[in-house]
Amino acid sequence: MAPIRILRSADLPRCLDLDDVLLSQARVFAQLSRHSITMPIRTVFPVGTKGNSFVMPAHVPSSSDAAVSGSVGVKFIGLRNANPARGLAAIQGCVVVASEETAEVVGLVDAVNLTAWRTAAGSALATMLLSSPIATTLLVFGSGAQARAHLLFMMLVRPSIKRIFIVTTNATTGQLLQQELQSQRSGVEVVVLKDSFETALAEADIICTCTSSPTPLFSGHLPKRGAHINAIGSYQLHTRELDPLCVSRCSLVAVDALDDAREEAGDLVDADWDSQVCELGSLYSIDTGRPHMDVDRSDLGPLAESLKLSKQDTAVGWRTKTANESGANKDLTLFKSVGVAAQDIAIATVVLRIAAERGVGTVVDM
């Protein structure tokens, strides 16, 4: 068996940059929309009353230009809502990556930060395509690892953001996140709210829901016209962060994978969403039958070519077009993510390649 490279959570910042993450996720979403990825529906099972565990396998083939090598892998994670009180991240686990060619295991990657980064990268890709290119106000529900990653990626793809609202019931993590952001981003106002967030919500251009709440976080009438929402916390049919009114206001609902969304997206169950839904990959896949979702190419940097976006239209133009076609009450856009194994395998493969180049991690012989 080939040597196995083990990457701990502390190793990841040394072998990963945000552009690599975004590019790997852009490619994998495009592959998903082309049905070139093998990805069984994940297995979710309860561990008594302590929480749920997940087994998520996938095969991500090599990209057509051979720029990204193919791999096979399995993500095993557990969600324990009591973990933050123990000083642990709510999500624990790892991603096992094997060679596409030989099936030899080549890597084991801690999944805590990896999960947060890949999820936020998907939201960032949707935000680049669906939100106002001059968005100034961001509101994030939650203050854990997912919220932190979303704040990082939202500011990367929307540097126009000048105000951030963090809505959390955990004052300690909220204040720590506030201090971190203020030390890194001069000129950005950061406000932590526990409740009475309605006014802030009504001002937000971009809203990210990163919680484990089983019930809707706010009334669907509150977001302003033109707001974009990334909803990533709910992953079961009986849980939801958004109410049906909020979903019904959306001129476009993008999901990571249609089959998974139908099985797991509780936010969408009670809403009439099938008529305006598409996979995120189809928004930047040139080979789908969907209308292009186009943005200013200068917004995307190195992603422009991989996303295959044309130069004619803008995000604002598309949003106006879909809203007009759908009716005046269709004035929001939504990216609903339940998380898919292909994202994890793709990003873990990139991380392992960079780690090998930089000598990061521990290599063991089996």
Are residues 146 and 70 part of one domain?
Answer: no
Are residues 223 and 97 part of one domain?
Answer: no
Distance CA(16)–CA(27), nearest Å, equals 17
**CATH number of the domain within which 86 lies:** 3.30.1780.10
Q: Specify the pLDDT at position 290.
A: 33
Distances (CA, A) of 40 to 78, 115, 263, 274, 326: 18, 18, 12, 22, 34
Q: Which two tokens stand for residue 256?
A: 């990571």
φ, ψ (nearest 5 deg) of residue 73:
-160, 170
Distances (CA, A) of 82 to 91, 150, 246, 337: 10, 22, 29, 23
Are residues 146 and 159 part of one domain?
Answer: yes
Q: Which of 79, 147, 77, 156 is nearest to 116 (CA)?
A: 147
Query: What b/e readout covers 92-108, taking b as 16+ CB neighbours within 10 angstroms?
Result: bbbbbbbebeeeebbbb
Distance CA(242)–CA(338), nearest Å, equals 13
Are residues 268 and 127 part of one domain?
Answer: yes
Are residues 123 and 90 part of one domain?
Answer: no
**Number of domains observed in the structure of the chain:** 2
Q: Which two tokens stand for residue 46?
A: 């309860």
Are residues 171 and 102 part of one domain?
Answer: no
Sign of CA dihedral 141, 145, 150, 155: positive
φ, ψ (nearest 5 deg) of residue 178:
-60, -45
Distance CA(291)–CA(303), nearest Å, equals 19
Average pLDDT by stretches of 10, the chain with 366 residues: 92 85 84 88 90 94 66 94 84 94 94 91 92 95 93 93 96 93 91 93 97 92 96 86 92 87 82 72 51 40 39 38 51 92 93 94 92
E strand or H helix that includes residue 17: none
E strand or H helix that includes residue 4: strand 4-7
Contact 268, 256 (CB under 8 A): no
Are residues 292 and 196 part of one domain?
Answer: yes
Are residues 269 and 174 part of one domain?
Answer: yes
Are residues 120 and 110 part of one domain?
Answer: no
Are residues 252 and 154 part of one domain?
Answer: yes
Q: Specify the pLDDT at position 199.
A: 95
Question: Is beta strand 332-336 parallel, antiparallel or unpaired with respect to 250-255?
Answer: parallel
Single pTM value for the model: 0.85
Q: Which two tokens stand for residue 237?
A: 């049919």
Q: Range of 278's domain?
A: 116-336
Distance CA(155)–CA(245), nearest Å, equals 28
Q: What share of the chain is helix, strand, coil (3-state, %, to 5)?
A: 40, 20, 40
Q: Which of 280, 298, 309 is nearest to 25 (CA)?
A: 280
Q: Specify the pLDDT at position 191.
A: 96
Are residues 312 and 212 part of one domain?
Answer: yes
**CATH number of the domain within which 280 lies:** 3.40.50.720
Q: Which two tokens stand for residue 359?
A: 């000598």
Are residues 122 and 61 part of one domain?
Answer: no
